[in-house]
Amino acid sequence: MKRILFSVLALGALAACNPAIPDSGAGVGFDNYDTYQQKQAARDAALGGGALPPPQAVSSETLAPAAASGIASVSNAAASTDTSGVVQASPANAAPVLRASGISDENNFDAVSGQRSIEGDAAKRAQNQQQYQVIQPTALPTRQGRGGPNIVAFALEAKNAKGQRVYKRNSFNAANKYRKNCAGFASADQAQQAFLAGGGPAKDRKGMDPDGDGFACTWDPAPFRNAVSG
């Protein structure tokens, strides 16, 4: 008897946990699809009851000035007495009339073609070219005073290229002398000037020109030569 009662209770619990399967043909949120179509048609008819008026039916009358409700409105009298040329923002003011400003004669092809011609422009250009003044390069001025060797003049006087041996050099401990003495100058121009002041390019007591081209350390005469030759 207990087993039968237990079985009945178990079947009842399973039936309560198993939900009913909905009918897919009934639709979602309504009874069936036919009822949905009827409700949708009624809704569309209600929404489409007020059609938009045609463009010509819109009135062109000027709106009356809004009453003061926390926002200041400009009256017609204030707008008429305003001499600043600024149109006040008010519904009572008429829309400003926009006028075409046009373009200047300089940018107007029709106007310019009536005043100038291709031949006239060519003659004017030739006249301007005759007034050009070509300044020829001149020799460098001689430095006055005791300012030390002129590395620019030396670069122009020397005819050999960088790395081309011209002078005899002592190769004993040449690499160490080169690194030590060249490291004491802030620029290659200063090194070349000190090299010339110390007897260079014929003599190289400090080993600043180990290849014998007459140019100390990393100094290169090419920039000075290119500046003169153009």
* 140 within a domain of the structure (yes/no): no
Distance, CA of 83 to CA of 5 (rounded, Å): 103
* 162 within a domain of the structure (yes/no): yes
Q: Is the alpha carbon torsion for 206, 207, 213, 219 positive or negative?
A: negative
Task: Report if pTM > 0.85.
Answer: no
* 210 within a domain of the structure (yes/no): yes
Q: What's the confidence (pLDDT) of residue 204? A: 94
How many distinct structural domains can be found in the chain? 1
Domain that holds residue 220: 151-229
Distance, CA of 152 to CA of 225 (rounded, Å): 9
* 194 within a domain of the structure (yes/no): yes
Distance, CA of 182 to CA of 175 (rounded, Å): 11
Q: What's the confidence (pLDDT) of residue 42? A: 79
* 146 within a domain of the structure (yes/no): no
* 167 within a domain of the structure (yes/no): yes
Burial environment of residue 176 by CB neighbours within 10 A (0 to 12, 13 to 18, 19 or more)? exposed
* 173 within a domain of the structure (yes/no): yes
In this structure, which amino acid lies at residue 86?
Answer: V
Give 10-residue mean pLDDT values along the chain (230 residues): 66 60 53 76 73 56 54 45 56 59 66 80 90 84 73 92 92 91 94 94 93 94 88
* 156 within a domain of the structure (yes/no): yes
Distance, CA of 174 to CA of 178 (rounded, Å): 6
* Cβ atoms of residues 174 and 204 within 8 Å: no
* Cβ atoms of residues 166 and 160 within 8 Å: yes
Q: What's the confidence (pLDDT) of residue 101? A: 57
Q: What's the confidence (pLDDT) of residue 206? A: 92
* Residue whose C-alpha is closest to residue 159's, from 214, 197, 112: 214
